[in-house]
Amino acid sequence: MHIHLDALGGVAGDMFAAALLDAFPEHLDGLRASVRAVDARVACAAQAHNDGILSGARFAVSAPGAEPGPAPHRHQHDPHAPHDHHAPHDHGQAHDHARPHDHRTGHRPWSEIRAALEAADLAPAVRAHALAIFGHLADAEARVHGIPVDAVAFHEVGAFDSIADIVAAAHLIAALEVRSWSVSALPLGSGRVRTQHGPLPVPAPATTLLLEGFPTLDDGVPGERVTPTGAAILRHLCGDDPGRTRPRGILSRTGIGFGTKVLPGLSNCLRALVLEDGAAARPGRRDLAVIAFEVDDQSGEDLAMGLDRLRAEPGMLDVVQAPVVGKKGRMMAHIQALVRPESLDAAITACFRETTTIGLRYHRVEGAVLDRESRTVEHGGRPVRVKVVDRPGGRSAKAEADDARDHAGHAVRAQVRREAERLALQQRPDQRPEEER
Protein backbone atom coordinates (compact mmCIF):
# COMPACT_ATOMS: atom_id res chain seq x y z
CA MET A 1 0.00 0.00 0.00
CA HIS A 2 1.19 3.50 -0.90
CA ILE A 3 -0.32 6.73 0.45
CA HIS A 4 -0.01 9.99 -1.48
CA LEU A 5 -0.69 13.21 0.40
CA ASP A 6 -2.25 16.00 -1.66
CA ALA A 7 -1.52 19.24 0.20
CA LEU A 8 -4.28 21.46 -1.17
CA GLY A 9 -4.51 23.68 1.91
CA GLY A 10 -1.20 22.65 3.47
CA VAL A 11 0.06 20.17 6.04
CA ALA A 12 -0.27 20.25 9.82
CA GLY A 13 -0.27 17.52 12.44
CA ASP A 14 -4.02 17.60 13.01
CA MET A 15 -4.72 17.67 9.26
CA PHE A 16 -2.57 14.55 8.75
CA ALA A 17 -4.38 12.66 11.52
CA ALA A 18 -7.79 13.80 10.26
CA ALA A 19 -7.10 12.76 6.65
CA LEU A 20 -5.99 9.25 7.65
CA LEU A 21 -8.87 8.83 10.10
CA ASP A 22 -11.29 9.89 7.37
CA ALA A 23 -9.83 7.12 5.19
CA PHE A 24 -9.37 4.59 8.02
CA PRO A 25 -11.96 5.33 10.74
CA GLU A 26 -11.48 1.86 12.20
CA HIS A 27 -8.21 3.06 13.79
CA LEU A 28 -9.78 5.78 15.95
CA ASP A 29 -10.13 3.69 19.12
CA GLY A 30 -6.53 2.51 19.00
CA LEU A 31 -5.34 6.06 18.35
CA ARG A 32 -7.23 7.33 21.38
CA ALA A 33 -5.60 4.66 23.54
CA SER A 34 -2.13 5.75 22.38
CA VAL A 35 -2.85 9.41 23.13
CA ARG A 36 -4.19 8.50 26.59
CA ALA A 37 -1.08 6.43 27.25
CA VAL A 38 0.98 9.62 27.05
CA ASP A 39 -1.47 11.83 28.96
CA ALA A 40 -4.57 10.19 30.44
CA ARG A 41 -6.25 13.61 30.80
CA VAL A 42 -6.31 14.32 27.05
CA ALA A 43 -9.18 13.18 24.84
CA CYS A 44 -9.45 13.36 21.07
CA ALA A 45 -12.09 12.84 18.40
CA ALA A 46 -12.54 12.72 14.65
CA GLN A 47 -15.35 15.12 13.78
CA ALA A 48 -17.20 15.24 10.47
CA HIS A 49 -16.70 18.59 8.75
CA ASN A 50 -17.97 20.27 5.59
CA ASP A 51 -16.52 23.61 4.49
CA GLY A 52 -19.24 24.17 1.91
CA ILE A 53 -17.07 22.74 -0.84
CA LEU A 54 -15.74 19.42 0.43
CA SER A 55 -16.59 17.08 3.28
CA GLY A 56 -14.15 15.22 5.44
CA ALA A 57 -12.95 15.20 9.04
CA ARG A 58 -11.26 17.32 11.64
CA PHE A 59 -9.05 15.98 14.42
CA ALA A 60 -10.03 17.62 17.71
CA VAL A 61 -7.99 17.40 20.91
CA SER A 62 -9.40 18.53 24.25
CA ALA A 63 -7.64 20.38 27.01
CA PRO A 64 -6.59 18.08 29.87
CA GLY A 65 -9.66 17.01 31.78
CA ALA A 66 -12.18 18.34 29.23
CA GLU A 67 -14.22 16.46 26.65
CA PRO A 68 -13.26 17.06 23.00
CA GLY A 69 -15.50 19.73 21.54
CA PRO A 70 -15.27 21.77 18.34
CA ALA A 71 -11.67 21.94 17.14
CA PRO A 72 -10.03 25.15 18.39
CA HIS A 73 -8.14 27.45 16.07
CA ARG A 74 -4.74 25.98 16.74
CA HIS A 75 -3.00 25.28 13.44
CA GLN A 76 -1.89 27.34 10.48
CA HIS A 77 -1.81 30.83 11.89
CA ASP A 78 -3.32 33.95 10.46
CA PRO A 79 -0.30 36.27 10.15
CA HIS A 80 -2.55 39.33 10.63
CA ALA A 81 -4.36 38.08 13.72
CA PRO A 82 -3.41 39.36 17.18
CA HIS A 83 -1.25 36.94 19.10
CA ASP A 84 -2.77 35.14 22.08
CA HIS A 85 0.06 34.26 24.45
CA HIS A 86 -2.17 31.68 26.09
CA ALA A 87 -3.01 29.78 22.89
CA PRO A 88 -1.05 26.54 22.35
CA HIS A 89 -0.21 27.05 18.67
CA ASP A 90 1.50 24.37 16.61
CA HIS A 91 4.69 26.27 16.02
CA GLY A 92 7.94 24.70 17.14
CA GLN A 93 10.16 27.58 18.12
CA ALA A 94 12.89 26.49 20.47
CA HIS A 95 14.25 28.32 23.47
CA ASP A 96 17.95 28.26 24.19
CA HIS A 97 17.56 27.24 27.84
CA ALA A 98 15.48 24.38 29.18
CA ARG A 99 12.91 25.43 31.75
CA PRO A 100 10.36 23.55 33.84
CA HIS A 101 7.16 22.75 32.01
CA ASP A 102 4.80 25.71 31.87
CA HIS A 103 1.31 24.24 31.37
CA ARG A 104 -0.10 27.65 30.44
CA THR A 105 2.25 28.24 27.50
CA GLY A 106 3.07 24.65 26.60
CA HIS A 107 6.80 25.33 27.07
CA ARG A 108 8.55 21.97 27.55
CA PRO A 109 12.17 20.80 27.16
CA TRP A 110 12.74 18.19 24.48
CA SER A 111 14.35 15.95 27.09
CA GLU A 112 11.13 16.01 29.14
CA ILE A 113 8.94 15.12 26.15
CA ARG A 114 11.35 12.34 25.16
CA ALA A 115 11.30 10.89 28.67
CA ALA A 116 7.48 10.98 28.73
CA LEU A 117 7.25 9.12 25.43
CA GLU A 118 9.81 6.53 26.54
CA ALA A 119 7.94 5.94 29.79
CA ALA A 120 4.45 5.78 28.24
CA ASP A 121 2.73 2.45 27.71
CA LEU A 122 2.92 2.70 23.92
CA ALA A 123 3.41 -0.02 21.34
CA PRO A 124 7.13 -0.08 20.41
CA ALA A 125 6.44 0.97 16.81
CA VAL A 126 4.25 3.90 17.90
CA ARG A 127 6.89 5.08 20.36
CA ALA A 128 9.62 4.81 17.71
CA HIS A 129 7.64 6.88 15.19
CA ALA A 130 6.75 9.54 17.77
CA LEU A 131 10.34 9.88 18.96
CA ALA A 132 11.57 10.09 15.37
CA ILE A 133 9.11 12.86 14.46
CA PHE A 134 9.98 14.86 17.58
CA GLY A 135 13.65 14.14 16.89
CA HIS A 136 13.39 15.80 13.47
CA LEU A 137 11.84 18.86 15.13
CA ALA A 138 14.53 19.00 17.81
CA ASP A 139 17.33 18.67 15.26
CA ALA A 140 15.88 21.48 13.15
CA GLU A 141 15.43 23.78 16.14
CA ALA A 142 18.97 23.09 17.30
CA ARG A 143 20.27 24.10 13.87
CA VAL A 144 18.13 27.25 13.79
CA HIS A 145 19.33 28.47 17.18
CA GLY A 146 22.86 27.09 17.08
CA ILE A 147 22.47 25.06 20.28
CA PRO A 148 22.89 21.37 21.21
CA VAL A 149 19.85 19.19 20.59
CA ASP A 150 19.52 18.39 24.30
CA ALA A 151 19.23 22.12 25.04
CA VAL A 152 16.15 22.51 22.82
CA ALA A 153 12.88 23.40 24.53
CA PHE A 154 9.62 23.64 22.62
CA HIS A 155 7.02 26.34 23.07
CA GLU A 156 3.94 25.72 20.95
CA VAL A 157 4.96 22.20 19.89
CA GLY A 158 5.34 21.38 23.58
CA ALA A 159 1.63 22.00 24.16
CA PHE A 160 -0.68 19.08 24.89
CA ASP A 161 -2.50 19.30 21.54
CA SER A 162 0.66 19.24 19.44
CA ILE A 163 2.01 16.29 21.42
CA ALA A 164 -1.32 14.52 20.85
CA ASP A 165 -1.10 15.28 17.11
CA ILE A 166 2.33 13.68 16.87
CA VAL A 167 1.35 10.62 18.92
CA ALA A 168 -1.79 10.26 16.79
CA ALA A 169 0.28 10.46 13.61
CA ALA A 170 2.74 7.91 15.00
CA HIS A 171 -0.10 5.53 15.87
CA LEU A 172 -1.59 5.73 12.37
CA ILE A 173 1.78 5.31 10.66
CA ALA A 174 2.49 2.21 12.75
CA ALA A 175 -1.00 0.72 12.39
CA LEU A 176 -1.25 1.13 8.63
CA GLU A 177 2.20 -0.32 7.81
CA VAL A 178 2.30 1.67 4.58
CA ARG A 179 5.02 0.54 2.18
CA SER A 180 5.82 4.04 0.90
CA TRP A 181 4.60 7.66 1.05
CA SER A 182 4.70 10.63 -1.29
CA VAL A 183 3.46 14.21 -1.17
CA SER A 184 2.43 16.80 -3.74
CA ALA A 185 4.20 20.12 -4.19
CA LEU A 186 3.82 22.04 -0.94
CA PRO A 187 2.34 25.55 -0.69
CA LEU A 188 4.80 27.56 1.36
CA GLY A 189 2.52 30.56 2.04
CA SER A 190 3.84 33.98 2.98
CA GLY A 191 3.65 36.71 5.59
CA ARG A 192 4.59 36.59 9.27
CA VAL A 193 3.61 34.34 12.11
CA ARG A 194 3.53 35.63 15.67
CA THR A 195 5.17 33.40 18.26
CA GLN A 196 6.46 33.72 21.79
CA HIS A 197 9.74 34.78 20.18
CA GLY A 198 7.97 37.54 18.27
CA PRO A 199 7.12 37.74 14.55
CA LEU A 200 8.89 35.22 12.30
CA PRO A 201 8.74 34.80 8.53
CA VAL A 202 6.57 32.15 6.88
CA PRO A 203 7.64 29.40 6.47
CA ALA A 204 9.13 29.32 9.95
CA PRO A 205 12.91 28.79 10.11
CA ALA A 206 12.64 25.23 11.45
CA THR A 207 10.03 24.39 8.82
CA THR A 208 12.33 25.48 6.00
CA LEU A 209 15.06 23.15 7.24
CA LEU A 210 12.64 20.22 7.52
CA LEU A 211 11.31 20.81 4.01
CA GLU A 212 14.69 20.86 2.25
CA GLY A 213 14.38 18.84 -0.96
CA PHE A 214 10.57 18.87 -1.10
CA PRO A 215 8.87 20.34 -4.21
CA THR A 216 7.05 23.59 -3.45
CA LEU A 217 4.66 26.00 -5.15
CA ASP A 218 3.29 29.49 -4.67
CA ASP A 219 -0.50 29.50 -5.07
CA GLY A 220 -0.82 33.12 -3.98
CA VAL A 221 -2.61 32.29 -0.72
CA PRO A 222 -0.82 33.84 2.29
CA GLY A 223 -0.36 32.54 5.81
CA GLU A 224 1.44 29.60 7.35
CA ARG A 225 0.56 26.63 5.14
CA VAL A 226 2.95 23.97 6.46
CA THR A 227 3.53 23.90 10.20
CA PRO A 228 6.69 22.59 11.88
CA THR A 229 4.79 19.52 13.08
CA GLY A 230 3.47 18.85 9.58
CA ALA A 231 6.95 19.31 8.12
CA ALA A 232 8.48 16.92 10.68
CA ILE A 233 5.90 14.25 9.81
CA LEU A 234 6.69 14.63 6.10
CA ARG A 235 10.42 14.41 6.75
CA HIS A 236 9.89 11.25 8.79
CA LEU A 237 7.72 9.63 6.10
CA CYS A 238 9.75 10.61 3.04
CA GLY A 239 13.24 10.48 4.56
CA ASP A 240 15.99 10.99 2.01
CA ASP A 241 13.58 10.84 -0.95
CA PRO A 242 11.35 13.93 -0.50
CA GLY A 243 10.81 14.23 -4.24
CA ARG A 244 9.29 10.76 -4.58
CA THR A 245 6.50 10.80 -7.15
CA ARG A 246 3.13 9.14 -6.84
CA PRO A 247 3.41 5.59 -8.24
CA ARG A 248 0.93 3.69 -10.33
CA GLY A 249 -1.70 1.87 -8.33
CA ILE A 250 -5.38 1.23 -7.86
CA LEU A 251 -7.15 3.84 -5.72
CA SER A 252 -8.79 2.00 -2.84
CA ARG A 253 -9.63 4.76 -0.32
CA THR A 254 -9.47 8.50 0.09
CA GLY A 255 -9.58 10.74 3.12
CA ILE A 256 -9.80 14.50 3.63
CA GLY A 257 -8.51 16.20 6.76
CA PHE A 258 -9.35 19.83 7.45
CA GLY A 259 -7.36 22.46 9.30
CA THR A 260 -9.15 25.06 11.35
CA LYS A 261 -8.05 28.19 9.51
CA VAL A 262 -10.30 29.45 6.68
CA LEU A 263 -8.36 30.16 3.48
CA PRO A 264 -9.71 32.63 0.90
CA GLY A 265 -11.27 30.72 -2.00
CA LEU A 266 -9.57 27.44 -1.08
CA SER A 267 -10.47 24.40 1.02
CA ASN A 268 -7.95 24.20 3.83
CA CYS A 269 -7.50 20.46 3.68
CA LEU A 270 -5.00 17.66 3.20
CA ARG A 271 -6.16 14.74 1.06
CA ALA A 272 -4.87 11.19 1.43
CA LEU A 273 -4.99 8.92 -1.63
CA VAL A 274 -4.57 5.24 -0.75
CA LEU A 275 -3.10 3.22 -3.62
CA GLU A 276 -2.93 -0.55 -3.61
CA ASP A 277 -0.21 -2.28 -5.57
CA GLY A 278 -0.82 -5.05 -8.06
CA ALA A 279 -0.57 -7.90 -5.58
CA ALA A 280 -3.16 -6.43 -3.19
CA ALA A 281 -5.53 -4.83 -5.69
CA ARG A 282 -5.45 -7.42 -8.48
CA PRO A 283 -5.22 -10.99 -7.18
CA GLY A 284 -2.49 -12.83 -9.02
CA ARG A 285 -0.91 -9.63 -10.42
CA ARG A 286 1.87 -7.43 -9.13
CA ASP A 287 3.85 -4.39 -10.25
CA LEU A 288 7.56 -4.94 -10.78
CA ALA A 289 10.63 -3.15 -12.07
CA VAL A 290 13.37 -4.69 -14.21
CA ILE A 291 16.99 -3.49 -14.15
CA ALA A 292 19.36 -4.64 -16.90
CA PHE A 293 23.03 -4.00 -17.68
CA GLU A 294 26.19 -5.67 -18.97
CA VAL A 295 29.58 -6.17 -17.32
CA ASP A 296 32.80 -6.96 -19.21
CA ASP A 297 35.54 -5.73 -16.86
CA GLN A 298 34.82 -7.47 -13.54
CA SER A 299 36.23 -10.86 -12.59
CA GLY A 300 33.76 -13.72 -12.43
CA GLU A 301 34.69 -14.33 -8.81
CA ASP A 302 34.04 -10.76 -7.70
CA LEU A 303 30.90 -10.42 -9.85
CA ALA A 304 29.43 -13.55 -8.23
CA MET A 305 29.97 -12.03 -4.79
CA GLY A 306 28.46 -8.72 -5.92
CA LEU A 307 25.36 -10.42 -7.32
CA ASP A 308 24.90 -12.37 -4.08
CA ARG A 309 24.90 -9.06 -2.24
CA LEU A 310 22.36 -7.67 -4.72
CA ARG A 311 20.07 -10.64 -4.03
CA ALA A 312 20.13 -9.72 -0.34
CA GLU A 313 19.00 -6.12 -0.97
CA PRO A 314 15.53 -5.22 0.43
CA GLY A 315 12.90 -5.38 -2.28
CA MET A 316 15.11 -7.42 -4.64
CA LEU A 317 13.16 -10.43 -5.91
CA ASP A 318 15.67 -12.11 -8.24
CA VAL A 319 19.00 -11.53 -9.99
CA VAL A 320 20.15 -13.59 -12.98
CA GLN A 321 23.10 -13.44 -15.35
CA ALA A 322 23.75 -14.82 -18.82
CA PRO A 323 26.77 -14.79 -21.15
CA VAL A 324 26.49 -12.50 -24.16
CA VAL A 325 28.86 -11.25 -26.86
CA GLY A 326 29.43 -7.51 -26.89
CA LYS A 327 31.42 -5.04 -28.93
CA LYS A 328 34.78 -6.11 -30.30
CA GLY A 329 33.69 -9.72 -29.82
CA ARG A 330 34.10 -9.54 -26.06
CA MET A 331 32.32 -11.99 -23.80
CA MET A 332 30.21 -10.14 -21.25
CA ALA A 333 27.81 -10.97 -18.45
CA HIS A 334 24.26 -9.74 -19.01
CA ILE A 335 22.65 -8.98 -15.62
CA GLN A 336 18.91 -8.71 -15.06
CA ALA A 337 17.38 -7.87 -11.70
CA LEU A 338 13.74 -8.04 -10.68
CA VAL A 339 12.79 -5.57 -7.94
CA ARG A 340 9.75 -4.11 -6.21
CA PRO A 341 8.97 -0.65 -7.66
CA GLU A 342 9.26 1.16 -4.33
CA SER A 343 12.80 -0.23 -3.91
CA LEU A 344 13.95 0.71 -7.42
CA ASP A 345 16.13 3.69 -6.49
CA ALA A 346 17.93 1.78 -3.74
CA ALA A 347 18.40 -1.21 -6.08
CA ILE A 348 19.95 1.00 -8.78
CA THR A 349 22.39 2.40 -6.23
CA ALA A 350 23.27 -1.14 -5.15
CA CYS A 351 23.91 -2.21 -8.77
CA PHE A 352 26.41 0.62 -9.21
CA ARG A 353 28.01 -0.20 -5.86
CA GLU A 354 28.40 -3.96 -6.31
CA THR A 355 29.37 -4.12 -10.00
CA THR A 356 31.65 -2.19 -12.35
CA THR A 357 28.85 -1.08 -14.68
CA ILE A 358 28.67 2.67 -15.35
CA GLY A 359 25.20 2.62 -16.92
CA LEU A 360 22.04 0.57 -16.78
CA ARG A 361 18.46 0.42 -18.07
CA TYR A 362 15.25 -0.03 -16.12
CA HIS A 363 11.55 -0.18 -16.80
CA ARG A 364 8.37 -1.02 -14.96
CA VAL A 365 6.37 -4.12 -15.83
CA GLU A 366 3.39 -6.08 -14.57
CA GLY A 367 3.78 -9.67 -13.47
CA ALA A 368 1.47 -12.58 -12.76
CA VAL A 369 1.97 -14.95 -9.83
CA LEU A 370 0.27 -18.10 -8.64
CA ASP A 371 -0.93 -18.55 -5.09
CA ARG A 372 1.61 -20.50 -3.10
CA GLU A 373 2.50 -21.42 0.45
CA SER A 374 5.56 -22.82 2.18
CA ARG A 375 5.25 -26.01 4.21
CA THR A 376 7.74 -27.98 6.27
CA VAL A 377 7.62 -31.78 6.53
CA GLU A 378 9.77 -34.33 8.37
CA HIS A 379 11.73 -36.89 6.37
CA GLY A 380 14.26 -39.19 7.98
CA GLY A 381 14.13 -37.08 11.12
CA ARG A 382 15.07 -33.90 9.25
CA PRO A 383 12.89 -30.95 8.20
CA VAL A 384 12.39 -30.36 4.49
CA ARG A 385 10.82 -27.15 3.20
CA VAL A 386 8.35 -27.53 0.36
CA LYS A 387 6.64 -24.88 -1.76
CA VAL A 388 3.05 -25.83 -2.65
CA VAL A 389 1.57 -23.98 -5.63
CA ASP A 390 -2.03 -23.75 -6.86
CA ARG A 391 -1.92 -24.23 -10.62
CA PRO A 392 -4.86 -24.16 -13.07
CA GLY A 393 -4.53 -27.94 -13.50
CA GLY A 394 -4.16 -28.74 -9.82
CA ARG A 395 -1.67 -28.39 -6.98
CA SER A 396 2.05 -29.01 -7.40
CA ALA A 397 4.90 -29.15 -4.92
CA LYS A 398 8.62 -28.40 -5.08
CA ALA A 399 11.04 -29.30 -2.29
CA GLU A 400 13.95 -27.04 -1.44
CA ALA A 401 17.04 -28.66 -2.94
CA ASP A 402 19.26 -27.32 -0.14
CA ASP A 403 17.36 -29.39 2.42
CA ALA A 404 18.45 -32.63 0.68
CA ARG A 405 22.07 -31.68 0.06
CA ASP A 406 23.41 -33.68 3.02
CA HIS A 407 22.38 -36.93 1.32
CA ALA A 408 25.00 -38.60 -0.85
CA GLY A 409 24.04 -39.56 -4.40
CA HIS A 410 21.71 -38.01 -6.96
CA ALA A 411 19.15 -40.82 -6.75
CA VAL A 412 18.91 -40.54 -2.97
CA ARG A 413 18.50 -36.76 -3.06
CA ALA A 414 15.81 -37.04 -5.73
CA GLN A 415 13.95 -39.64 -3.65
CA VAL A 416 14.08 -37.40 -0.56
CA ARG A 417 12.63 -34.49 -2.52
CA ARG A 418 9.86 -36.59 -4.10
CA GLU A 419 8.82 -38.06 -0.73
CA ALA A 420 8.81 -34.60 0.92
CA GLU A 421 6.66 -33.23 -1.91
CA ARG A 422 4.20 -36.11 -1.53
CA LEU A 423 3.94 -35.53 2.24
CA ALA A 424 3.45 -31.78 1.77
CA LEU A 425 0.56 -32.30 -0.66
CA GLN A 426 -1.10 -34.67 1.80
CA GLN A 427 -0.50 -32.52 4.87
CA ARG A 428 -3.62 -31.25 6.67
CA PRO A 429 -3.68 -27.76 8.27
CA ASP A 430 -3.66 -29.20 11.80
CA GLN A 431 -0.49 -31.17 11.00
CA ARG A 432 1.54 -28.09 10.06
CA PRO A 433 3.86 -26.31 12.50
CA GLU A 434 2.06 -23.54 14.37
CA GLU A 435 4.05 -20.75 12.65
CA GLU A 436 2.77 -21.97 9.23
CA ARG A 437 -0.92 -22.05 10.11
What's the confidence (pLDDT) of residue 84? 28
| pLDDT on residue 186 | 95
pLDDT tens-digit profile of 176-231? 988 889 999 999 888 887 766 678 788 888 899 999 999 999 998 988 999 999 99
State the pLDDT at residue 158: 45
Which helix H or strand E contains 413, and what residues bound it?
Answer: helix 410-426
> Do residues 137 and 115 both lie within one domain?
yes
Q: Which pLDDT score, from 0 to 100, does residue 325 have?
A: 94
Do 231 and 358 belong together in one domain?
Answer: no
Q: Which residues, 6 or more positions from 157, have their beta carbon under 8 angstroms from its beta carbon?
A: 90, 91, 92, 106, 137, 163, 228, 229
> Do 305 and 418 have their domain in common?
no
- The Cα 284–Cα 49 span in angstroms is 39
353 and 382 inside one domain: no
Taking the C-alpha atoms of residue 168 and residue 179, their distance in angstroms, rounded to an integer, is: 19
Quote the DSSP letter at residue 265.
Answer: T
CATH number at residue 302: 3.30.70.1380
Neighbour count for residue 338 (Cβ, 10 Å):
17
CA distance 224 to 204: 8
Structural domain boundaries enclosing 94: 2-276
Taking each helix axis from N to C end, the angle separating 160-176 and 13-23, rounded to the nearest 10 degrees, works out to 40
Of the three residues 233, 251, 276, the one that is the final residue of a domain is 276
Cβ(348)–Cβ(289) below 8 Å? no
- Which helix (H) or strand (E) segment is 183 a member of? strand 180-183
Domain final position from 276, 302, 319:
276
pLDDT tens digit at each of 437 positions of the chain: 899 999 999 999 999 999 999 999 999 999 999 999 998 888 899 999 999 999 999 999 987 656 555 544 444 433 333 232 223 334 333 333 333 344 444 467 888 888 889 998 999 999 999 999 999 998 888 888 888 777 777 765 547 788 899 999 999 999 998 888 999 999 988 888 776 667 878 888 889 999 999 999 999 898 899 999 999 999 999 987 888 888 878 899 999 999 988 898 899 999 999 998 754 445 567 789 999 999 999 999 999 999 999 999 988 999 999 999 988 888 999 999 999 988 999 999 999 999 999 999 999 888 888 888 888 988 877 888 999 998 888 899 999 888 888 888 899 899 989 998 899 888 865 555 554 54
Note whether 9 and 263 are within 8 A (CB).
yes
- The verdict on 313 and 430 lying in the same domain is no
* Count: domains in the chain: 3
The answer, as to whether pTM is greater than 0.75, is: no
User: What are the φ and ψ backbone dihedral angles of 82, each rounded to 5 degrees?
Assistant: -65, 145
Are 94 and 32 found together in one domain?
yes
Query: For position 40, what pLDDT does the model report?
Result: 85
362-392 tens-digit pLDDT: 998 888 888 888 889 888 778 889 999 988 8
How far is the C-alpha of 130 from the C-alpha of 373, rounded, in Å?
36
For 195, half-sphere exposure in the C-beta direction (CA atoms, 13 angstrom radius) is 28
Residues 160, 257, single domain; the answer is yes
202 and 336 share one domain: no
Residues 242 and 267 in one domain: yes
- In this structure, the answer to whether residues 325 and 399 fall within a common structural domain is no
Angle of helix 228-238 relative to helix 13-23, nearest 10 degrees, comes to 60
Residue 166, C-beta contacts closer than 8 angstroms, at least 6 positions apart: 13, 130, 133, 134, 229, 232, 233
Assess whether 217 and 259 both reside in one domain.
yes
Across the chain, mean pLDDT equals: 83
Do 264 and 337 have their domain in common? no
Find all residues with CB under 8 Å of 71, minimum gap 6, and list them.
Answer: 14, 47, 58, 59, 60, 61, 260
User: Which of these three, 250, 276, 302, is where a domain ends?
Assistant: 276
139 - beta bridge partners?
A: none
